[in-house]
């Protein structure tokens, strides 16, 4: 019996599973309960910002469904999917750590900021694997 949610054949299904897990976690847990006591001039509501992340992962899953026949290599697909999922989960964790002050993180804002920059860079470089995978798949089909 062949199913569309086979993780070995379609590694991009991991994007869907991560999206579902993030949606459940975000729905069952309040994002942040921080009172800045009128010290913020402009603030972005973290609630709205964090909900974009599962939608972003779902869009990658839909892109993989649409471009499945053009993919060049399952190995490159695995690299892209794992890079995307791991960095996304770590970015969400850093958002929680950065917005919720604690005695351990109150003086480590520079470390958290540097970690966020590195994770963002790794995430962006990981997306190049997706572009290369599709590009090589399209060019490989033209030559054949």
Question: What is the pLDDT tens value at each position of the chain, 144 positions in all?
Answer: 455 666 667 788 888 888 888 877 776 665 445 555 555 555 556 666 777 888 888 888 889 889 988 999 999 999 999 999 999 999 888 877 766 666 665 677 788 788 889 999 999 999 999 999 999 999 987 654
pLDDT at 1: 45
Which pair of structure tokens corresponds to residue 63?
Answer: 């892109």
Distance, CA of 32 to chain centre = 20
Q: Give dist(CA 64, CA 136) in Å, integer.
A: 15
pLDDT at 29: 62
């Amino acid at each position: 019996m062949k199913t569309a949610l086979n993780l070995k054949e379609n590694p991009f299904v991991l994007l869907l599973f991560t999206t579902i897990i993030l949606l459940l976690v975000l729905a069952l847990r309040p994002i942040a309960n921080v009172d800045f006591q009128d010290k913020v001039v402009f603030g972005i509501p973290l609630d709205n910002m964090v909900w974009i992340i599962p939608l972003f992962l779902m869009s990658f899953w839909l892109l993989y469904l649409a471009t499945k026949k053009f993919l060049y290599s399952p190995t490159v697909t695995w690299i892209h999917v794992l890079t995307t999922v791991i960095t996304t989960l770590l970015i969400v964790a850093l958002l929680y750590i950065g917005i919720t002050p604690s005695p351990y993180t109150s003086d480590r804002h520079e470390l958290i900021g540097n970690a966020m920059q590195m994770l963002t860079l790794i995430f962006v470089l990981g997306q190049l694997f997706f572009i290369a995978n599709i590009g090589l798949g399209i060019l490989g089909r033209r030559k054949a």
